[in-house]
Structure 1
């Protein structure tokens, strides 16, 4: 048995084999960029036409560069920008619901239907008032408040016509009954 720590000499009875050649050298790769070293100044280049550029990679410890938006084509949908480097999405601003305008629309509908039953004038007046309040405070809900104002005025006019017709009919009935 032999000691593995002692150097072994080739046995003269065994033919010596040629040593294994070393592996070929790997091709040289460019060195990784140094983040701490400033870049050497570049000679000025002639101006070229503007093209969308990709943002430069941020240096360690520095703030990430803001991404530049590429030029949009007409009619192309615009995708929302993804957050960079673990930044969360910004919360969407809370939109106020157009309460006054919706109430104006509902009051106008109820006033128009109620005009045939003699109680619609209250809802019609409420529709007009809420519609004008909605116009001043909620201009983005134009369809609601405008429809409420129009339905309110139509309901008021219809209520007046229904009351006039009712008075004429009752007067004619009363005059015919008094003649007997």
Structure 2
């Protein structure tokens, strides 16, 4: 491209809002006298052969290391390794750690109906422990779901108490003499 030439193909002192000239109708020759070929190379603008720039597809992939300003496109290997995409499969750094509160709430809610299967006590204890740890994470500012952790703590406590009560009632019921 020569200095002073517009990279977008506009001529100097040309109105950019003006419509382009219409192409020659099909079968007629343009004003240059040669037949119109839509697949032909664009005509040269009087430049000598050695100064012409070769056609370069702007959408073609660039050879490795020739990206502008040192940028690498997505999917290109960085440092010779596998393609890396931003945050591919990894949580954002400094993100919230809400797992303990969520697990506590799920275990706490599940511990109440599991009392009838003798699982209310261990699941309730697990809910209380994870709820306590979730509340500590929330107090440290590492999590933002203290309500879930508190719900898991309370439901887990209820499930553990009901589990103990159920086991006591089963043991007492087995030790009662048959009166009939």
Q: Report the TM range for the smaller structure's normalisation.
A: 0.3 to 0.5
- Scaled by the length of structure 1, the TM-score of the pair is 0.43
TM-score in terms of structure 2 length: 0.43
Instruction: Find the structure with the greater CA-based Rg.
Output: 1
